[in-house]
Structure 1
Amino acid sequence: MKPLIVLITIFTLILAVTRIVYGQWDIYRSGRVAMAVMLIFTAIGHFKFTEGMILMLPDFVPAKREMVLATGIIELIAAVGLFIPSLRILTAWLLILFFVLIFPANIHAALHNVNLEKASYDGDGINYLWFRVPLQLLFIAWVYFFVIRTGR
């Protein structure tokens, strides 16, 4: 829920700023900034809640701590890549792939009631997926619409 709040809040704020500064709404810039800020927010979670995120990974995944930290770094790199015109489209496609690849960890976390902030097994469980599936699809659609579709 928190990443969605960050995404929508930053989008609305930057949209208003672009209207004031440039005299017009710039939804594409606002969308990119919002996604970048959301990625930074979630990346911080990888470093702050490492132990909980480790619990999100199935047993067969090796080097769980390194994987959690690496995905946090990937999110930070993607946030920067959204602002580099020559890398923006590639970053967007890789970000969509990233969202697809991390989704099984969310399923695993839901099935095992992982509470990533407490690093415990008393989370929302399967009900979490009713929110997470549409959220993951929203992230993918967001990146596609605000970056790939427009070529900006």
Structure 2
Amino acid sequence: MVAPEQSRWALVLTALFFLTGGVLHFVLIDYFIAIMPAYLPWHRELVQVSGVFELMGALGILIPATRQWAAWSLIALCIAVFPANLNMALHPDHFSNIPVVLLVARLPLQLLIIWIVAKAGGLPNRSV
């Protein structure tokens, strides 16, 4: 059941987004390895670990008892994978099959994803 402060559309979108992403980390592992910044070690292992955490978060967000914990974990994951997105934007020549505008546009989209995850998890909406 979704509490009033949670959003059903955000819950479904979050679960589908991270479930798909998690599966793709194993199906398209070479693609995800290619977007890893060179300064990070263990590319394959980090891709696999992030894929597992995406899958766990997608399932955890659906379970009321683990929903908030999963939301916070998925937000942390979004922050952790940001360097790979930034790496793509900084090196568009390595990703010539993706328009540069999309590589740059996905950076602020991380904030939108984080906001949707917070809505899905029913996290407190606090203003500064």
Q: TM-score, normalised by structure 1?
A: 0.69
Please say if residues 22 and 55 of structure 2, whose CA atoms lie closer than 8 Å, have aligned partners that are also in contact.
yes
Report Cα offsets for 1:22-72 as digits up to 9, x if no partner: xxxxx7223212210111111122112111111111122111111111111
Corresponding residue number in structure 2 for 1:109 = 88
- Structure with max Cα Rg: 1
Corresponding residue number in structure 2 for 1:31 = 10
Could you tell me the percent identity over the aligned residues?
33
Corresponding residue number in structure 2 for 1:71 = 50
Report which structure shows greater RCO (CA 8 Å, sep ≥6): 2
Distance in structure 1 (CA, Å) of the matches to 2:58 and 2:49: 14
Report Cα offsets for 1:57-90 as digits up to 9, x if no partner: 1122111111111111110000011022221111
Report Cα offsets for 1:88-115 as digits up to 9, x if no partner: 111111111111111111010222227x
Please say if residues 113 and 121 of structure 1, whose CA atoms lie closer than 8 Å, have aligned partners that are also in contact.
yes
Q: Secondary structure at the match of 1:61?
A: coil
Distance in structure 2 (CA, Å) of the matches to 1:95 and 1:54: 20
Please say if residues 42 and 72 of structure 1, whose CA atoms lie closer than 8 Å, have aligned partners that are also in contact.
yes
The structure 1 residue matched to 2:112, chosen from 109, 122, 138, is 138
Report Cα offsets for 1:97-143 as digits up to 9, x if no partner: 111111111010222227xxxxx642436423432023211110111
Corresponding residue number in structure 2 for 1:149 = 124
Distance in structure 1 (CA, Å) of the matches to 2:85 and 2:99: 10
| Alignment coverage as a number of residue pairs | 119
Corresponding residue number in structure 1 for 2:20 = 41
Tell me which stretches of 4 or more aligned residues in structure 1 moved more than 4 Å. none
The correspondence of residues 13-28 of structure 1 with structure 2, limited to 5 A, is 28=7
Corresponding residue number in structure 2 for 1:53 = 32
The correspondence of residues 70-109 of structure 1 with structure 2, limited to 5 A, is 70-109=49-88
Q: Unaligned regions of 5+ residues in structure 1, if any?
A: 1-26, 115-119
Please say if residues 109 and 125 of structure 1, whose CA atoms lie closer than 8 Å, have aligned partners that are also in contact.
no
Letter in 2 for 1:134: P
Q: Secondary structure at the match of 2:92?
A: coil
Q: Unaligned regions of 5+ residues in structure 2, if any?
A: 1-5
What is the aligned-residue RMSD (CA, Å)?
A: 2.1
Please say if residues 36 and 43 of structure 2, whose CA atoms lie closer than 8 Å, have aligned partners that are also in contact.
yes
